Structure 1
Amino acid sequence: MTTSTRGDVKDLSLAARGKDRIEWAAKDMPVLRLIRERFAKEQPLKGVRMSGCLHITTETANLAITLKAGGADLVLCASNPLSTQDDVAAALVSEYGIPTFAIKGEDEEVYYSHINAVLDHKPNMTMDDGCDLVSTLHTKRTELLDNIVSGLEETTTGVIRLKSMEANKVLRFPVLAVNDSDTKHMFDNRYGTGQSSLDAIIRSTNILIAGRTVVVFGYGWCGRGVASRAHGLGANVIVCEVDPTRALEAVMDGYRVMPGVEAAAQGDILITVTGDINVIDQKHLENIKDGALIANSGHFNDEINIPALEKLSTGKRRVRDFVDDYTYSDGRHVYLLAEGRLVNLSAAEGHPASVMDMSFANQALGAEYMLKQGKDLEPRVYTIPTEIDKQIASLKLQSMGVRIDTLTEEQESYLNSWESGT
């Protein structure tokens, strides 16, 4: 472990490899590259002290480099104990001069010491992935709140927590819900989570997905993506939902829909993507099929009732990296992946760079927007303006060599009029 005022990382000697991988990701992030080029010229974030609690990956590194190019005084920590790529953390510190506090496998004590370390930076702006940074600010570091102009939040889970803070009138500064922009949740959550979750399950287990029954708990954008990718690999997909409209959509998309307890008895692979607690609860675990794999792609491992799993088990052993075998008294075996933490970043590399290109373009342009507007906004949760969202989509299409139509003046006039009819 290497500790200094520049951060806390596992091993700085890993930096060269991390730099190579950061550059590899950069080639698939053309929108962020265009933003970085403009930021370097205009310096829209000059002098802003920014603290980020994010997954320390190659894609996040490219966001960090962009923010620094724009003038931000940035420090980073991990937003999950298992999602850090240690070579990337080392490269951020030694190759790019961005203080980073992140070590893969860090325990809870170190995790929160790292959050406090980036808050010691006395930020003017926060960038969060799960709301742990903002939550800590509002509970244990309240002396820093007057420094904050605004914040940004990346995830569904974090937005849920922030909206709860807003509803309870405890949120002290405006936060931009990056997750709610179309170019984030429609692509990152669906295509990114869909592919990376299945990638992680395959990497950690080396099983064949075709012919197996995959149960997806939750049919939001992440659930849609997981179900689609599992189906594409030949799985028989069951969806479990509490929202009748989403459940109906899943039926119309061709999936079986049933209560989770029934699905647990049939599923070979159970995947949670809801942002809620105890989605796989004791009743599911009691009914679960022998040999079932359990994985979570939500932000927190609360989605799986791990204490109940421990209670039901007579033994536990690590059988592969990121695979724990829980043995029941009746002889059944249940396999928990990545300790119930978000499997795609714990047991694999997270989302592909090409989809994070849009998500992190939202973060970069969102930071620029909130710096300009934050002082005039009430302490609420906001969505990124539609014009920024569409700008990102246009840049992405341009980078892919895709051209689209434009409305004629006649069509524009027609859409803005009310007189025409049958």
Structure 2
Amino acid sequence: MDPRNPWQALTRPRFPRSSWPWRSAGYLVTGGLLGALACLVFLVLGVFSLFLVGLPLLLLSGPALAGIERRRLRLVDLDPAPDPHRVPDAPGLAAWLRLRAGEQSTWRELGYALLLATVLWPLDLIAVAVAIGLPGALLGTPVQLAVDGREAKAVKVYLVTSYPEAFAAALLGALLLVALAYPLAAVAGARAALARALLSPREGGSPAGIGEVIASRARLVDAFEAERRRIERDLHDGAQQRLVALTMTLGLARLDAPPGPLADQLAKAHTEAGQVLTELRELIHGIHPQVLADYGLGAALADAADRSAVPVDTDVDLPRLPAAVESAGYFAGCEALANVARHSGARRARLTARAEGGVLRLEVSDDGRGGADPAGGSGLTGLADRLAVLDGRLTIMSPPGGPTLLRAEIPCRSLSESSVSSSPRTASSSGRD
């Protein structure tokens, strides 16, 4: 398996020839520059804070810088760093500020920002100067001698007066560049671990306990989905086929029976069998639609939008995802569309789905009357529980008078990123009038 961070890369024999030394150097250099800029910003905000004008900006600078840092982590940490903040329950700047001020994550991010602006950025630049600047100065000794023509000072200390000495210094610089790449990557790994611990912490419990809970929960989800598919297959291949045969037999008997009470009863039985077959097919589709298994979540959501009683515009662009994630995303979209049709009084809805940054984001909005309440028996509580099993999150913004926005977020990784060959399917925008 390819390394995901500098600590793992250090154990590989081909580490000096990989991109990890340069990724580590880039992470530390950008950290030094960003920290210097943050130091300047904090000095300016500190002056304004004397007049109580800069205090809100000082508080909000932490989350802003943390967002940049979580993106910068991708240089040396390939595992996504999730945003720990919750989405406000109500729209507007005031609701957003109240939520952020009450979150522990906001204060951790402010602490990290102050640490970066005062302590970390000089250490980053010192590490780069030692690991790259010192070998670089030695590598440039022959150039210095050629420019001067008589002598050159290697790293401003050792006087070099001949080309053999200059090339020996350059060789030493090359060896040091390789040797110091290891401690440079170790420093970058430690910096990244500190940033992840403060900016994307795992709340509560020991790491071992959390890992076991996550693993057992994943096994339960996989077992549940496997059982759901088995039930769907048994109904499709067993009960449905028998009902089809029964319907055909009743139809043939109805044609052969002479007019009279017997023919009437056969016609009634034939009609009832046809209705039962229709209901069974709808039940099978609700358990696990075949389009979801064959073509993925994008096609299944487009199919659900086409069958909605309210016209739905779709903007869905998804690769193939793990089966449990696709199933949860599909039923989240179906439940949201069903609520739009039953409760919102909307004239039109919109469904958007993307898988970016290791997170599946599915949004359903409508222009209805709003006022959706998860405690009102609309199925939203059960949907939130279903997403929570996959470490997902459900957010609903539905002020009285509308509009309503339902957002489901599920951490995931596409099958192509998991080294499983698959081709993404795109559902283009469509509307059903």
TM-score range, shorter chain: under 0.3
More helix as a share of residues: 2
Query: Structure 2 length normalisation: TM-score?
Result: 0.21
When normalised by structure 1's length, the TM-score is 0.22
Largest Rg, 1 or 2? 2
**Larger strand proportion of the pair:** 1
